[in-house]
Amino acid sequence: PGAPVVAGAYGPFVCSYTGATGSCTNNGGFNAAAFSRVFRGDTANTSNDACPALTAGQRPGMCHFFPGLLRSNVVVTYTATGLGYQTRLGGPVPTITVSLQNRTFQFFFLQGLMGFANINMPSMLSTVTGEDLKSTWP
């Protein structure tokens, strides 16, 4: 029904926070509210790293599952990987990767017992094709 999207046709757009400022590479437009939805869930506050308490019916964000996570630890990447087709009504479909960076793993029990030191965790990521995303809840 449409021509395939050529891998590398746009982006990648790498979006992240540095301090209090969010930005995307390759002249990508940064959307603080969308980034906040990934980080905080269904809350409107986009101005800090605070993780709000959940209320009934509220969608949780990454900070609810990983206490101590900061916005600067989260990186969202949009890439044309060749999946999807470019003549669809919504345009080409990106592949979206969410990853964590600059986190330290603490050996709570083994640190005291065997003297294990904290180690830097390697980047952890999760990827999904844009067509598989759902824009409404539930």
Sequence spans of domains, the chain: 13-132
Q: What is the pTM of this model?
A: 0.74
The answer to whether 15 touches 99, Cβ cutoff 8 Å, is no
Banded pLDDT at 24 (limits 50, 70, 90): very high
Banded pLDDT at 51 (limits 50, 70, 90): confident
Banded pLDDT at 76 (limits 50, 70, 90): very high
pLDDT per residue over 80-133, tens digit each? 877 766 666 666 678 888 898 888 776 666 665 666 677 676 676 677 766 655
Average of pLDDT values for 26-40? 89
DSSP string, 74-108: EEEEEE--S-SBTTSTT-SPPEEEEEE-S-EE--H
Task: Count the Cβ atoms, other than its own, within 10 Å of residue 9.
Answer: 14
